[in-house]
Chain A
Amino acid sequence: MGKYLGAMLTGQVCRSVDTAKAHRAFRDGNDSFEAYKKSCDMDSNAYLLEQKNFAHSSQGQLDWLDLLRPIAHDFSGFSKGDSAGEDSIGPVTRWYRTNSFYRKPTIKEKINCVGDELIKSLPKLSGNGVLLILGPYSFAKLVENNHYADEKSLALDYAHAVSKNYPSLKSHGYNCILLLEPSIGYDQSNGNYLIENWYLEAISIFKKDMKIGIHLPLCNATPIVSHLEKSNADFLGIDAIYTPPEGFKCKKDILIGIIDGARSKKETVEETLANLKIFLEKSGYSGNYYLGPTDRLYDVPFAYGLGKIKTLSEIANELK
């Protein structure tokens, strides 16, 4: 029987209603950026407070306007647009099957950076922080590529650029990176996902001396895991709602997304543990596992997200 390794978030989280108001007021010129930032920080602290017993914590990167924005803004190689303001990164584009959107950045030159770019957009943590960023597959799908001849060279340069940030990330308290791969599930549902060999190469660039996880939300992870097991990622994240336990096998440690990130219902500790038991028994998985939400907690309001994190925290106490 495997060991419980702890909990962690699996994506960005939702801002509170106060922050929403402060954000709008800032946009409309009725309040300062500092007031908005202060409200974001309060939300961040509330989220962090609930994760004290998590294996890796994150403030949910709630001040990132989307998962690509700080990278497109601060790394070189991306079009910065031809005017100032919100529109400078790229067109507004739907985030998969949700009512949220991101700015689709355009790559015009080689992706590169100095190495201190990511910490500009992250709070300093006391340790065991997890950085939540797009994995190479999704990143390559979500940008407009006007420079690279193929996805491989794009993904490898992205991995190199992110890994340049490791020294500064570590000094900022981050020792784990969760590579989020929503595009794999999306493509899987349309019957056209393909994980090519370059993917494993990109993961090895990410690996270096950092703990690396790959998370697969909104998809049946079973057929994908067999490809990703060959990578040198430390663990693979699965969505336990979309992944039937029957037939699931994995030789690596896994992160089981057990709390539904897209539903308003707040799961209880008892029912979550019961669902976990069913998953482990039916799959016969006996390796070590983390627990987390199925996906980002961006699609549930702030209080609901906090509630779901609280459930994970209570489970952590129980399982320890």
Chain B
Amino acid sequence: MKKMFITQEIGSIQRPVWRQKLNAPANKQWIGSALEWGKKLGVKEAIELANNSGRGLLQKDGEKRTPEEKNRIIDIASLYVIRMLEQSGLDRIFNGENPGTEMYDTVASRTRGISTAGTLNSFDANYFKKGIIDGELSISPNGIEFFDESYAFVSKNSKKIVKPCLSGPYTMADWSYIEHHRAKREKIGDNPFDALNRGRSDAIIEFAKNVHSPIVKSLAKKGARVIQLDEPAATTKEFESEIFVDSINESFNGIPDFVEKAVHLCYSNYPVLFPYLAECKANSYLIEFTNHASPTYFSPDQVSHEAYQIIELFNEYKMDVNVGVGVIDIHSDVIETPEVVRDRLLHAAKLIGNPQKVQVNPDCGLRTRRWEIAYPKLVNMVKGAKLAAKELGETE
């Protein structure tokens, strides 16, 4: 029987400062924190970071570290996240996005046809790099390798189900200044307004065909059984919902049925995706549900109407999909209790009508929260999922 309430993270986990500042001088406080968390999470490789010899990776000044040593620090940071997610009890895990930079740049820096413009603010202390599309888009040779290796590293170091994730084609295009495709359209006589819109569509589909599809195909070939495209921008321009769905379908084109095709959506006006979403080949949608709710108690009146509305729409359009219910607010330090998580899940299960179709996740990546907060949030998330399953009669 299929498990109810599969638990997972969305993708990002905050990077420890010693991972962020690879070129900085040795710092006692950072070393202390690395050792403390290493012990707490059972990371045996922590000893490589700092040890009695005084020659640990973090005991050296950053400028004196070789590229190999810096890469090893990144690998060890991934191991910290892997152990954290394992110890939280999650069913599916990844690497906290440690090997990359941030969600846009991780894909953009491995794509031909993009140059970096700079950093923009998205929300409070959340920033993202924005690029300029100034040429035809295609994955660079080391791009596929990067995603394959990231997947292989986690698979090698954990027995859990590994769920690789990457920013999807629509989000990548939306977070770029689309100059090349716009200019190309202007050249063939489109007026500026049409050139902008058609140029966007061209770039979105080009991303899907030439960047995402090759990555996803390769990951599936390497053994990934669930692959997640992150599409926080999905509803940014509501009149582009059809092209959004086309881009997801193109990205997953040719992927076998036994691979779960997941899409993460957040902070969006989900109903605008319909009716087009009904034609989407994805079979799991991981969505933010807790943003609008109280972090400390559950009440059906306090849930995110926008989020729960999508369940009604899935039902209305008879979409047989899994719904990843965001039960953790990633913008709050309040640690949700297992009971609140349970109640949110039971409410969602009731609406969906089949608890085996309900998956469990935070609203979005937990990169926004310190480990002292993120870790207990994940622990309680898993406890809450178990309580919900128990309530519905599932035995462990």
Could you list 9 A-B pairs, sorted by A, with CB under 8 Å?
A17-B118, A83-B333, A91-B292, A94-B236, A99-B122, A100-B120, A100-B122, A301-B119, A304-B118
Are A83 and B332 interface neighbours, CB within 8 A?
yes
Known interface pairs A28-B14, A28-B370, A99-B233; A87-B295 also in contact (CB < 8 Å): yes
Other A-B pairs, 18, CB within 8 Å; known A83-B296, A298-B121, A301-B118: A15-B121, A15-B127, A23-B125, A30-B17, A82-B294, A84-B333, A85-B333, A86-B332, A87-B295, A92-B123, A94-B235, A98-B236, A100-B120, A100-B121, A101-B123, A264-B117, A300-B117, A303-B118
Are B291 and A91 interface neighbours, CB within 8 A?
yes
Tell me if B304 is interfacial: C-beta within 8 Å of chain A: yes
In angstroms, Cα B178 to Cα A265, docked, is: 11
Are A301 and B117 interface neighbours, CB within 8 A?
yes
- When distances are taken between beta carbons in the complex, the residues of chain A under 8 Å from B269 are 94
- Where the two chains meet, the residues of B that have a C-beta atom closer than 8 Å to any C-beta of A are 14, 17, 117-125, 127-128, 130, 132, 174-175, 177, 179, 192, 232-233, 235-238, 267-269, 291-292, 294-296, 304, 329, 331-334, 368, 370
Are B267 and A93 interface neighbours, CB within 8 A?
yes
Known interface pairs A17-B119, A28-B17, A65-B124; A87-B332 also in contact (CB < 8 Å): yes
- When distances are taken between beta carbons in the complex, the residues of chain B under 8 Å from A83 are 295-296, 332-334
Are B17 and A20 interface neighbours, CB within 8 A?
no
Tell me if A14 is interfacial: C-beta within 8 Å of chain B: yes
Tell me if A191 is interfacial: C-beta within 8 Å of chain B: no
- When distances are taken between beta carbons in the complex, the residues of chain A under 8 Å from B233 are 99
- Shortest C-beta distance, A88 to chain B (Å), equals 9
In angstroms, Cα B371 to Cα A30, docked, is: 13
In angstroms, Cα B370 to Cα A98, docked, is: 27
Tell me if A299 is interfacial: C-beta within 8 Å of chain B: yes
- Please give me the residue from chain A that is nearest to B293 by CB atom: A91
Tell me if A24 is interfacial: C-beta within 8 Å of chain B: yes
- When distances are taken between beta carbons in the complex, the residues of chain B under 8 Å from A241 are 192
Q: Which of A294-315 contact B (CB under 8 A)?
A: 298-304
Cβ 8 A contact of B236, one of A23, A85, A97, A263: A97
- When distances are taken between beta carbons in the complex, the residues of chain A under 8 Å from B120 are 14, 99-100, 298-301
Taking chain B's interface residues, is the majority helix, strand, or loop, or is none over half, making it mixed? loop
- When distances are taken between beta carbons in the complex, the residues of chain A under 8 Å from B121 are 14-15, 20, 100, 298
- Shortest C-beta distance, B186 to chain A (Å), equals 12
In angstroms, Cα B128 to Cα A53, docked, is: 32
In angstroms, Cα B104 to Cα A99, docked, is: 12
In angstroms, Cα B117 to Cα A14, docked, is: 13
Q: Which of A250-298 contact B (CB under 8 A)?
A: 263-265, 298
Cβ 8 A contact of B296, one of A82, A97, A298: A82
Are B331 and A87 interface neighbours, CB within 8 A?
yes
Tell me if A148 is interfacial: C-beta within 8 Å of chain B: no
- When distances are taken between beta carbons in the complex, the residues of chain A under 8 Å from B235 are 94
